[in-house]
A and B are shown apart, each in its own frame.
Chain A
Amino acid sequence: MSISLYTAEQEERLFIRREASAWARSGLITDEQLAIIDARTDPGLNRTNVFFRILFFLFTSSCVQAVIGFYAYVIRIRGEVAIACSALAFGIVMAGLAEYLVRRKSLYRYGIEEALALSGMALTCAGIVILISQLHFEPRSFITTAAMLASAGAFWLYLRFGFLYAAVISVACACIVPFQLSLPPASERTIVAMVLALILLTSIRAEGSETRDFRRERSTLLQACLLAAIYLAVNLRLPELGRAHFGDPAPFDQFHAGYPPVFYWATYGLTFLVPALGLYLGLKSRKRLLTNAGLIAALLTLATNKDYLGFTHYAWDPAVLGVVMVVAAIVIMRWLANGSREARNGFTAKNLLKPEDHGINPADLGAALLPGAIQANLPPSPPEKPFAGGQSGGGGASSGY
């Protein structure tokens, strides 16, 4: 018997449906075949599309907030204990309501039960934290308790409802704890990275005997998140990436970023090792999300390499990185295309599965912002020239009259 509100069979059927939808979208099966698969994989759950799910989530959250606000206004609660008890009561009611909707109305990722469950968890944690605050702990202990409670609450939601983002919240909250233990910064990061690595290793080891596809899919997403979290913990120069000022020396205002030299250079090595590990594991077991997490981490390693080494940034650095990326993509594409059946070891550059098309995608939006971004980087008009101060551009969407 599982702790989850949904059976493994139901989750597996939903996984089959998702796969079948992707095949139908890509023209690999007909609509009739999709209908046959759908008929045979009825999970007995009520689902909705992603946009309605977002709406349900937003308006349920809004309703919960309004109800709590109305209660607080009408009852005119005073005193921290009363507030804590109210939060606890509301938390339990919300969580119970979420469970009721799943068990009686068979809701699955409907938005409503998600908002209620998350609100319930947040309110319960808030209630307990306020009660604990009556014991007058020091602030660090207080934050530690809150983080551990939130981590445990989110973990429960993941187990009970299967919300993947709850597992991510759980990890994020757990990562706060070492930073509140009054340890040296290097020790804090070490503990975080080691705990996350342990969990990742456990996940990979435990997956070996797993036969259910939906569980493999879930664990892949979690492994990708864990890899990203480990990378964030080990890359000491990441916070400076956004602040890097081109043309100036790297921000070496603090030698070794304020960490011991051994630790600093160890993390430098890890910024290469972690992406390599992600890529190796992702490509070996053909886990797309893990591979992509490894690729993004590798890109960030290249972007922060100069900061680590204390080299000067140049204005053309992004262009060099861009050229490397484009050339690498072309080389890989050609290499794969020259293999037998346009593939090597099963890897191909051909488009086999089409992604969902909602009419507009982030790449389109990014392209729409390009003219404005180009304009923002143009040198200012020379003051001695007539008609100075113009704001337009060739494609300059940032222009105004």
Chain B
Amino acid sequence: MERGRWWFFRVAPGMLFAALPGDSFFQGLYLPRIRANGEQQGMNVTSILKEMHRAGELGSTQLDALTDLHLKKRYSVHQELRAAIYIGVLLITAGVGLTIRQYFAQLGDIAIIGSLTAGALAAFLYCFVKGKPWSGGEVESPNILFDYVLLFGCTLYAADVGYIETQFRVLGDSWHDYLLVSSALFFFLAYRFDNRLVLSMALSTLAAWFGFQLSARFVSFHKYYRESAIAYSLVTFALGSLSHRLAVKKHFFDIYLNFTVHFLLMALLSGVFQYRFASWHLPAMAAAIAAVAVYSMRTRRFLYMLYAILYGYACLSAVVLGFVDGAAAMYIYGIVSSLTVIGLIFILSRRFKEGT
């Protein structure tokens, strides 16, 4: 009866579909395969841990802890809880924003400003009361919630000041200085409580002070934005480098560098697209890409190599395709350039075999 009930489920679709973990169906088919060096049968995580323990290469406590982890006798839901709180905070922020937008006339300025200010102050107060003392190194959060309370406080502050500015225009023509003040506050809070999320907010708010916005105008990258982007990237790089050199939150450097690389390379690339050889953008782009690539190799952070190669290829294509006439030449360029890049990455990948 048991066999009859499950026969269909076990055999028929199992032979057909990918979700089958086993591959016994395909036994008997001869298809050549490559072999591992010195292949041993039956090696698995538990066996290798036991082997290391027997050889004295792994302590008994480590063996127990790792076996428990592997067999999922100890199972962490830390990342899931963090994700739930992060998404929760984003949803609360969205809900607050939508409510203000829709009901601001009924709620009145005092209620909106009062509640946003009280919420932001409460969040900041919580952080100052619960937060660990400041340190120049990496400081672990006192609990999972802490980082997100700070983020929530910052979003309420941003909504509060944004609302005041749009409704009352207190600073008149100097309104954009709000952004600098907001950015400075976010920088302070990010450094005080070792919060990468708030640092990202600080850097994007600083970008807003430099004149960037999330719109088609920014993407078009005309001359004005190009110069702003270069200035912004130099400032962020200077801030990040200073922080790194002074050994104050050295682990923030990657965030700074990501903002720097994208703003700088996008700006220079737009210059190359516009002027090709007729400006300083091309040599500056080449120098910047070389610097990013060298940094990537030295620190073995290959994300930057990805940036360097993609921006470099876009730059090269912008220059070369301007002089290429006809479809055949374009295809030949595509083949030769792709193969060259593949060869280059292949050499790099051999050099950093099985890197991170």
A316→B17 contact, CB < 8 A: no
Minimum distance in angstroms from B115 CB to a CB of chain A = 12
| 0/1 interface trace, chain B 124-158, chain A, CB 8 Å (1 if under) | 00000000000000000001110010010011011
A70→B72 contact, CB < 8 A: no
Query: Contacts A1-B27, A329-B85, A343-B74 known; A395 to B158 CB distance under 8 Å?
Result: yes
Which chain B residues in 29-69 approach chain A with CB under 8 Å? 29-41, 43-45, 48, 51-52, 57-58, 62, 65-66, 68-69
Residue A167 CB within 8 A of the other chain:
yes
Q: Among the listed B161, B208, B302, which residue makes an inter-chain contact with A51, where contact means beta carbons less than 8 Å apart?
A: B302
Q: Among the listed A12, A347, A396, which residue makes an inter-chain contact with B162, where contact means beta carbons less than 8 Å apart?
A: A396
A380→B166 contact, CB < 8 A: yes
A-chain residues with CB within 8 Å of residue B186 when the two chains form the complex: 395
B33→A7 contact, CB < 8 A: yes
Residue A81 CB within 8 A of the other chain:
no
Which chain B residues in 90-106 approach chain A with CB under 8 Å? 90-104
A246→B102 contact, CB < 8 A: yes
A-chain residues with CB within 8 Å of residue B323 when the two chains form the complex: none
Residue of B nearest to A391 (CB): B213
Residue of A nearest to B161 (CB): A394
Provide 17 A-B residue pairs closer than 8 Å at the C-beta atoms, listed in order of the A residue: A2-B27, A28-B69, A43-B36, A47-B353, A56-B342, A56-B346, A67-B335, A69-B334, A73-B328, A155-B17, A199-B13, A212-B21, A213-B45, A356-B356, A393-B179, A394-B158, A399-B179
Interface band, chain B: 35 or more
A5→B33 contact, CB < 8 A: yes
Minimum distance in angstroms from B176 CB to a CB of chain A = 6
Which residue, of A62, A209, A286, has the highest number of chain B Cβ atoms within 10 A? A62
B19→A226 contact, CB < 8 A: yes
Report the Cα distance A398→B80, complex, angstroms.
31
Report the Cα distance A37→B41, complex, angstroms.
16
Query: Number of A-B pairs whose CB atoms are under 8 Å?
Result: 492
Residue of A nearest to B198 (CB): A367
A13→B36 contact, CB < 8 A: yes
Residue A351 CB within 8 A of the other chain:
yes
Which chain A residues in 289-328 approach chain B with CB under 8 Å? 291-292, 295, 299, 315-326, 328
Residue B163 CB within 8 A of the other chain:
yes
Q: Among the listed A212, A377, A387, A395, which residue makes an inter-chain contact with B97, where contact means beta carbons less than 8 Å apart?
A: A377
Q: Among the listed B10, B19, B76, B162, which residue makes an inter-chain contact with A394, where contact means beta carbons less than 8 Å apart?
A: B162
* Beyond A70-B334, A348-B76, 11 extra complex contacts between A and B, CB < 8 Å: A9-B43, A199-B13, A207-B21, A246-B102, A325-B91, A359-B254, A365-B200, A371-B158, A393-B158, A393-B166, A399-B179
Minimum distance in angstroms from B354 CB to a CB of chain A = 5
| 0/1 interface trace, chain B 333-356, chain A, CB 8 Å (1 if under) | 111001101100110110011111
| 0/1 interface trace, chain B 68-81, chain A, CB 8 Å (1 if under) | 11101111111111
